[in-house]
């Protein structure tokens, strides 16, 4: 496979992501079977757009009764750092009242967006709101939030691929890679 010129290093291949996601899906299934004996369905909410590849991988390997829905909550506006002011652009369509919810996210950095969404869903009457992320970057955390399940913890890198973008592009790379940020200053699409 030919690497994109903005790829400095591949962190996780598609196969590695799938294998780890299957492991985490089993952990999550076990958790809900043990703790939610009466309610054996789960509302799985993906935060668009970055979640799509990971959300699909997770849901297709999660042997549990689920409803699927999405939200668009923006705080990046095309750059490499969060603006810190989340805004709901597309709300969840299903009722969240008295539901167990699992948010599926591509990456947790500052945590500001996730804290906002978690509080928003709890205020709408959710029974519980848990968080699954493909990547966690705890060195960037600005609020006190921790994902309930994480596939990989990474250091302070700007990453692209498998849903992660630079200026809305490169989400379709079939791996997670470190972006060569030295090239971004004069990069032309």
* Structure confidence by residue, pLDDT tens digits, 121-180: 999 999 999 999 999 999 999 999 999 999 999 999 999 999 999 999 999 999 999 999
Q: What is the pLDDT of residues 115-134, one digit of tens each?
A: 999 999 999 999 999 999 99
Contact 86, 116 (CB under 8 A): yes
Q: What is the pLDDT of residues 57-115, one digit of tens each?
A: 999 999 999 999 999 998 755 555 555 678 999 999 999 999 999 999 999 999 999 99
- The domains of the chain, with CATH numbers, are 14-154 (3.40.50.2020)
Cα angle, residue 114 at apex, residues 13 and 122 outer, rounded to 5°: 130
DSSP string, 85-129: --EEEE--SS--TT-EEEEEEEEESS-HHHHHHHHHHHHTT-SEE
Q: Which residues pair with 69 in a beta bridge?
A: 45
What's the distance, CA 92 to chain centroid?
16
Task: Spell out the alpha helix ranges (H) of 66-178.
Answer: 112-123
Secondary structure element (H or E) that encloses residue 44, with its range:
strand 41-48
What pLDDT score does 54 carry?
A: 98
């Amino acid at each position: 496979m030919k690497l994109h010129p903005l790829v400095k290093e591949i962190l996780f291949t598609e196969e590695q992501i799938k294998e780890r996601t299957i492991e985490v899906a089993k952990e999550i299934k076990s958790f809900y079977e043990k703790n939610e004996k009466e309610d054996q369905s789960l509302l799985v909410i993906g935060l668009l757009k970055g979640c799509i590849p990971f959300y699909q991988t997770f849901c297709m390997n999660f042997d549990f009764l689920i409803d699927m829905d999405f939200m668009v909550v923006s705080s990046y506006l095309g750059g490499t750092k969060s603006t810190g002011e989340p805004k709901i652009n597309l709300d969840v369509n299903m009722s969240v009242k008295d539901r167990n919810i699992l948010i599926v996210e591509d990456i947790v950095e500052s945590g500001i967006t996730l804290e906002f969404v978690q509080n928003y869903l709890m205020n709408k009457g959710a029974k519980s709101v848990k968080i699954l992320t493909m990547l966690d970057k705890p060195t960037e955390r600005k609020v006190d939030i921790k994902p309930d399940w994480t596939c990989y913890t990474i250091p302070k890198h700007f990453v692209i691929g498998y849903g992660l973008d630079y200026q809305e592009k490169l989400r379709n790379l079939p791996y997670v890679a470190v972006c060569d940020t030295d090239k971004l200053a004069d990069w032309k699409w």
